[in-house]
């Protein structure tokens, strides 16, 4: 396995240029800049809001300095609230090529698009020469998420991904599971797996926060498709989702953008702190994927029963299909058929081992199905977080 | 021979999970007793393993997944019509089709 060494010592498994709009008003121009590069690793990301938000800034900074990212073009309209100079300075400090185009200063759409494409072309050519170095599994950060869950997700794909997590943690990787709103009902079991009682208490508090937050919204993280797939309640969905976390001890609880301080298993608390302010914590699966990537995930393991097709900008998504009927209908979108646990009596361990092998191949450059199909979804919204407390990361405090 | 129709996930459970599509009227063994399943059930759905009274907790994988809102007979489907969350209500929609539910495994 080989990766690209970045100045902070982390290694990337992709060498991607990102083009980032800093307000929706710059979205079209950024998209036009990227358009001729659709067969190359040039991805479009952005933040739509005009009001400045610390979470959005931090997320953008983590994403722009992610080890899979080799260069960044910032596209600003000129009058939005985003601190573009602050962001550019942070990126520049990492040694990455960065350029800011302000549409109002460049002279409008056409001139900005031309300047942007020229910069991307030159930066791609320059990055092609960057050497790859040896990389170990213990340098990988892997995230997990489930989307479009049904009654099979918790029986096949999620336990198989949990088994893969156990194996990856054993090999020294950092693994992150998340969506505290989809772990409601599992809080006491998770607390029992925490490496310290203080961490266990923090986990229970985080799930209480999620239950309160979703209670205020009047609707849990439960889509109509979940019920059509046989799931009845949020607790039942949680139980299936929780199987993704495997069986090893929980080493810490992080928030979006926090990097795991070492290998091990981490829970990400994705529900905002403070009063209910900006609506649903994560309005869709990609909002969760982006937060996992901001915490350094090189690869995302995505389980689906109903059949999701999404991928992501920046980090490859490995799709693990839980339902054998869905797999037959949508095989072109799926990397792993975990439904064979139901149909062919394959063991959860067999599929877990297959996932780990695929993680290693994807880390070494093999394209996932969603990558090959050009999926590069991205979404970033408003949130508010307080810093992670010391009880949440006992390993780094020691 | 047909594959098993249902699976018991944990000994403490009062529901079983379908591991293939089941036809209406099919006889399915529940703890050794052949039981008639009244409605068609897709893969991944739940049926009662024993009678469950309204207000009783429903257990799957050994953990509570909510409370029964009506009395449920052995072999009856357990879903939104008779089970509710103890945390937040589940939002459901009827698209008027049976997408994904008509295939046999």
Cβ A220–B64 below 8 Å, yes or no? Answer: no
Q: How confident is the model at residue B105 (pLDDT cuts 50, 70, 90)?
A: very low
DSSP E strands in chain A: the ranges are: 2-5, 11-12, 16-21, 42-46, 69-76, 98-102, 133-134, 141-146, 174-177, 252-254, 264-268, 299-304, 317-321, 336-337
Tell me the C-alpha to C-alpha distance, in Å, between residue A212 and each of A206, B87, B88: 10, 9, 9
- Residue B9 neighbours by CB under 8 Å, 6+ apart: A155, B17, B60, B61, B62
Predicted confidence at residue B94, as pLDDT, reads: 55
| Chain A residues lying within 8 Å of B92, measured CB to CB | 224, 227-228
Average pLDDT over residues A41-60: 97
Rounded CA gap, A322 and A155, in Å?
A: 8
Predicted confidence at residue A44, as pLDDT, reads: 98
H-type helices in chain B, by residue range? none
Lowest mean pLDDT among A29-43, A91-105, A220-234, B19-33: A220-234
**Could you tell me if B61 lies within 8 Å of chain A, comparing CB atoms?**
yes
Average pLDDT over residues A46-75: 98
DSSP 8-state class, residue A26: G
Give the N- to C-terminal CA distance of chain B in Å, as an integer. 13
Q: How confident is the model at residue B103 (pLDDT cuts 50, 70, 90)?
A: very low
Predicted confidence at residue A292, as pLDDT, reads: 98
* Contact (CB, 8 A) for A278 and A383: yes
pLDDT digits (tens, 9 = 90+) for B37-96: 999 999 999 999 999 999 999 999 888 999 999 999 999 999 999 999 988 777 665 555
pLDDT digits (tens, 9 = 90+) for A357-393: 999 999 999 999 999 999 999 999 999 999 999 999 9
pLDDT digits (tens, 9 = 90+) for B8-19: 988 999 999 998
Predicted confidence at residue B102, as pLDDT, reads: 40
| Domain segments of chain B as ranges | 6-84
Q: State yes or no: pLDDT of B25 exceeds 80.
A: yes
ipTM for the predicted complex comes to 0.85
Q: How confident is the model at residue A206 (pLDDT cuts 50, 70, 90)?
A: very high
Predicted confidence at residue B92, as pLDDT, reads: 61
Q: How confident is the model at residue B101 (pLDDT cuts 50, 70, 90)?
A: very low
Average pLDDT over residues A196-216: 95
Cβ A234–B88 below 8 Å, yes or no? Answer: yes
Helix (H, G, I), strand (E, B) or coil at A77: coil
Q: State yes or no: pLDDT of A251 exceeds 90.
A: yes
Give me the residue from A185, A232, A343 closest to B79, CB to CB: A232
Predicted confidence at residue A283, as pLDDT, reads: 92
Rounded CA gap, A381 and A317, in Å?
A: 21
How high does pLDDT run on average in chain A? Answer: 95
Which residue in chain B has the smallest CA separation from A328? B105
Q: State yes or no: pLDDT of B99 exceeds 70.
A: no
Nearest chain B CA: its distance from A36 CA (Å): 38
Predicted confidence at residue B2, as pLDDT, reads: 64
pLDDT digits (tens, 9 = 90+) for A324-348: 999 999 999 999 999 999 887 789 9
Nearest to A377 by CA among A314, A319, A313: A313
What is the share, in percent, of chain A residues with pLDDT greater than 90?
87
| Domain segments of chain A as ranges | 2-133, 137-397
Cβ B90–A226 below 8 Å, yes or no? Answer: yes
Predicted confidence at residue A215, as pLDDT, reads: 85
pLDDT digits (tens, 9 = 90+) for A154-168: 999 999 999 999 999
Please say whether the structural domain B6-84 has been given the CATH code 2.30.130.110. yes
Architecture of domain A2-133 in CATH? 3-Layer(aba) Sandwich (3.40)
Which residues, in sequence order, are bridge partners of residue B35? B28
Give me the residue from B65, B78, B105 closest to A235, CB to CB: B65
Helix (H, G, I), strand (E, B) or coil at A300: strand
CB-based burial label for A167 (10 Å; 0-12, 13-18, 19+)? buried
Q: State yes or no: pLDDT of A135 exceeds 70.
A: yes
Tell me the C-alpha to C-alpha distance, in Å, between residue A62 and each of A24, A83, A156, A206, A259: 20, 14, 33, 23, 9
pLDDT digits (tens, 9 = 90+) for A282-295: 999 999 999 999 99
Q: What proportions of chain B, in percent to the nearest 5, are helix, strand and coil?
A: 0, 35, 65
Give me the residue from B3, B92, B100 closest to A325, CB to CB: B100
């Amino acid at each position: 396995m080989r990766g690209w060494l970045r100045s902070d010592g982390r290694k990337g498994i992709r060498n991607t240029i990102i083009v980032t709009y800093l307000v929706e008003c710059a979205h079209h121009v950024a998209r036009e800049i990227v358009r001729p590069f659709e067969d190359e690793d040039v991805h479009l990301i952005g933040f739509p809001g005009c009001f400045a938000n610390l979470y959005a800034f931090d997320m953008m900074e983590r994403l722009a300095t992610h080890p899979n990212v080799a260069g960044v073009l910032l596209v600003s309209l000129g009058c939005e609230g985003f601190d573009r100079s602050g962001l550019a300075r942070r990126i520049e400090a990492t040694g990455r090529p960065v350029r800011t185009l302000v549409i109002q200063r460049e002279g409008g759409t056409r001139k900005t698009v031309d300047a942007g494409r020229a910069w991307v072309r030159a930066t791609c050519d320059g990055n092609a020469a960057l050497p790859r170095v040896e990389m170990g599994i213990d340098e990988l950060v892997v995230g997990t998420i489930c989307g479009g869950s049904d009654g099979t997700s918790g029986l096949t794909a999620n336990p198989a991904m949990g088994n893969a997590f156990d194996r990856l943690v054993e090999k020294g990787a950092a693994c992150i599971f998340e969506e505290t709103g989809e772990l409601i009902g599992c809080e006491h079991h998770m607390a029992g797996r925490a490496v310290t009682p203080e961490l266990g208490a923090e986990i229970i508090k985080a799930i209480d926060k999620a239950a309160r937050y979703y209670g205020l919204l009047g609707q849990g993280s439960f889509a109509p498709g979940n019920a059509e797939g046989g799931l009845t309640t949020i607790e039942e969905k949680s139980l299936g989702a929780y199987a993704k976390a495997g069986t090893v001890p929980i080493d810490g609880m992080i928030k979006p953008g926090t990097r795991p301080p070492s290998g091990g298993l981490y829970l990400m608390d994705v529900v905002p702190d403070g009063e209910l302010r900006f609506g649903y914590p994560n309005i869709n699966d990609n909002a969760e994927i982006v937060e996992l990537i901001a915490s350094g995930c090189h690869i995302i393991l995505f389980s689906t029963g109903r059949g999701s097709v999404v991928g992501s900008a920046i980090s490859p998504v490995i799709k693990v299909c839980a339902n054998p009927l869905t797999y037959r209908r949508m095989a072109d979108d799926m990397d792993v058929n975990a439904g064979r646990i139901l149909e062919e009596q394959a063991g959860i361990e067999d599929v877990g081992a297959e996932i780990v092998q695929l993680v290693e191949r994807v880390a070494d450059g093999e394209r996932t199905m969603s990558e090959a199909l050009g999926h590069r979804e991205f979404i970033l919204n408003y949130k508010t977080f307080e810093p992670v407390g010391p009880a949440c990361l006992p390993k780094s405090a020691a | 021979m047909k594959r098993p129709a249902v699976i018991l996930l944990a000994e403490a459970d009062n529901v079983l999970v379908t591991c293939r599509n089941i036809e209406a009227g099919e006889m399915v063994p529940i703890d050794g007793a052949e039981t008639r399943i009244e409605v068609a059930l897709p893969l991944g759905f739940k049926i009662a393993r024993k009678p469950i009274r309204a207000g009783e907790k429903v257990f799957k994988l050994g953990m509570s997944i909510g409370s029964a809102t009506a009395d449920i007979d052995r072999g009856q489907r357990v879903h939104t019509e008779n089970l509710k969350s103890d945390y937040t209500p589940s939002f459901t929609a009827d698209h008027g089709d049976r997408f994904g539910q008509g295939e046999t495994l």
